[in-house]
Chains A and B, each alone.
Chain A
């Protein structure tokens, strides 16, 4: 009972009161160590150090750094121009370009709000100009940005790999088809929406234009090729690929596109270190928190509870999905994954669910949480960037939430969609 109050109820109260997540996890852990479990206090130091000293996590600052350089080094503009040249002739082309550009940008950045800001800044005015209603355009942008969190390289997947002790390379391979599947589902909806509303904004497909934009954007498109190609071909580990992509990004931004100078590079460097600390300082506290839950036998109790209920694996997945969606609505993806992955892993293993497949399910869940009311960060980014009232934005999100939930259902109950590439390339 005491344990439930300190590790279950107290964190929720402090979260609602707006305490920093790092502090919340530390408070609950320290109270448990001192007053409930009678463990040596020095385990705090060991966990704070040992959890961050993790080779997999080194990829996080590198991917943040590479994404920031590319975002500010003129890449997003060239990507949009390239996707427009490819999709210009299709009905709903500007909306489809939004999804396409967010998907490709996600293969570089991995940050959902940054993708909304980078791509949305360019495409929101065009969407409105071509006749898309405000609620559709804003809902589309807030939800498309979330694809960046699913398409590898994904920071959420790195954190899952570190927390659940699974291969980040396998997670990156497994995330490709589900990410593209979500983009495809959104694309189908957009096509029929544009057809129903008779929106005709397309331009003629011109090979010359495609060639010109491909030439201009070729260097930018090289980044996902280096990152994903290097990892999938087994040339680099995800951490090395992240490091190499940083160097490539610097060369492209500073010497090829000439959109960034040394001052800009230094600014981006400091921003990247700041973001890294902001996200990864939670790792130490979350690891300590979940370690205490493990010592207390909470995951084992959950396993035996579920086994006693006699639930089928599909029921276990359904319950976990509903739980994760609820958590994703109020908690940021990093905290949710770091705390819950080690606790849920024994449960899904007992239910016979592949942990790599589960990593993708978890990533999709927390990414959906980025644009579900009331606290999805993408909602507030979209609201602030484009001055869209929530009364318009919330209804605009509904169809995209439904599409993503359908896609989540397919991803959850069709493991081959995630695992087929792992079997082929793993």
Chain B
């Protein structure tokens, strides 16, 4: 678990952060190119669409690691111990099953993709490949953190609210400090 936290997740974060910053530059360059140089980057829109797909599904790995998928868990959190564990087990089982199914069907779908994209001429099987690849990582994240998933001790809506409260308290402390100085 520590190896994933120390080596794999930082690489995923670095890759995704770079993708977002590069996307900002690409879209601004496209607008500037169109108005200033009368030469838009014709492949920009197509590539940005693929970047978004990569960011969303690979980003799903980070979300799964934290147990941060959107859900309405305020009711289920009130369930007594055993019932809650049963619900968590069922949830994990179905999540893994769905992940395996996505990987399985992607294999056949991608095998048929031999063409390249229209403008940027990017191989479409590589672009589509991020979905099964991400779900392999997503399943791995769930299995590595299985104990936390079953115990329901991962981040949830309630934890997000708590995180916001802590952030506000920190900014309040910072404001007080800057006021004193």
Interface residues of A (CB under 8 A from B): 15-23, 26-27, 30, 41-42, 44-46, 48-49, 52-55, 57-58, 61-62, 65, 113, 117, 121, 235-236, 239-240, 242-244, 246-247, 266, 269-270, 272-274, 276-284, 330-332, 334-335, 374-375, 377, 380-381, 383-385
Interface residues of B (CB under 8 A from A): 13, 16-17, 19-21, 23-25, 27-28, 30-31, 35, 45, 48-53, 55-60, 62-63, 68-77, 87, 90-91, 94-95, 98, 101-102, 105-106, 108-110, 112, 127-128, 131, 157-158, 161-162, 164-165, 167-168, 171-172
Q: Known contacts A273-B55, A283-B56: does B161 contact A23 (CB below 8 Å)?
A: no
A385 to B171, CA, bound (A): 12
Q: List 30 A-B contacts (CB under 8 A).
A: A15-B72, A18-B73, A18-B75, A18-B76, A18-B77, A19-B71, A23-B94, A45-B105, A48-B57, A58-B48, A61-B23, A62-B27, A113-B164, A121-B168, A121-B172, A239-B48, A240-B31, A243-B27, A243-B28, A244-B27, A244-B28, A269-B20, A269-B21, A273-B17, A276-B55, A276-B56, A277-B56, A330-B72, A380-B161, A384-B162
Partner of B28, one of A23, A247, A375, A380: A247
> Judging by beta carbons under 8 Å apart, are B24 and A246 in contact?
yes
Note all chain A residues with C-beta closer than 8 A to B168. 117, 121, 385
Note all chain B residues with C-beta closer than 8 A to A27. 94, 98
Q: Known contacts A20-B95, A27-B94, A236-B31: does B131 contact A45 (CB below 8 Å)?
A: yes
> Judging by beta carbons under 8 Å apart, are A21 and B52 in contact?
no
> Judging by beta carbons under 8 Å apart, are A55 and B28 in contact?
no
Partner of B70, one of A242, A246, A279, A374: A279
> Judging by beta carbons under 8 Å apart, are A270 and B70 in contact?
no
Note all chain B residues with C-beta closer than 8 A to A243. 23-24, 27-28, 31
Partner of A335, one of B57, B70, B74, B109: B70
15 more contacts with CB within 8 A, not counting A45-B128, A278-B63, are A23-B69, A44-B102, A44-B105, A48-B102, A53-B52, A57-B52, A61-B52, A113-B164, A121-B171, A243-B28, A247-B28, A281-B69, A284-B56, A374-B74, A384-B162
Partner of B49, one of A42, A54, A272, A278: A54
Q: Which residue of B lies closest to A243 (CB)?
A: B27
Q: Which residue of B lies closest to A266 (CB)?
A: B17
Nearest CB in chain A: distance from B158 CB, A = 7
Q: Known contacts A57-B52, A244-B31: does B17 contact A375 (CB below 8 Å)?
A: no
Nearest CB in chain A: distance from B31 CB, A = 5
> Judging by beta carbons under 8 Å apart, are A18 and B31 in contact?
no
Q: Which residue of B lies closest to A246 (CB)?
A: B24
> Judging by beta carbons under 8 Å apart, are B55 and A61 in contact?
yes
Nearest CB in chain B: distance from A15 CB, A = 6
Residue of B35, B45, B49, B59 ringed by the most chain A CB atoms within 10 A? B59
Note all chain A residues with C-beta closer than 8 A to B76. 16-18
Note all chain B residues with C-beta closer than 8 A to A277. 55-60, 62-63
Q: Which residue of B lies closest to A279 (CB)?
A: B70
> Judging by beta carbons under 8 Å apart, are A22 and B56 in contact?
no
A332 to B55, CA, bound (A): 21
> Judging by beta carbons under 8 Å apart, are A380 and B59 in contact?
no
Note all chain B residues with C-beta closer than 8 A to A117. 164, 167-168
> Judging by beta carbons under 8 Å apart, are A380 and B49 in contact?
no
Partner of A375, one of B59, B72, B162: B72
Nearest CB in chain B: distance from A192 CB, A = 30
> Judging by beta carbons under 8 Å apart, are A58 and B70 in contact?
no
Residue of A20, A272, A279 ringed by the most chain B CB atoms within 10 A? A20
Note all chain A residues with C-beta closer than 8 A to B128. 45, 49
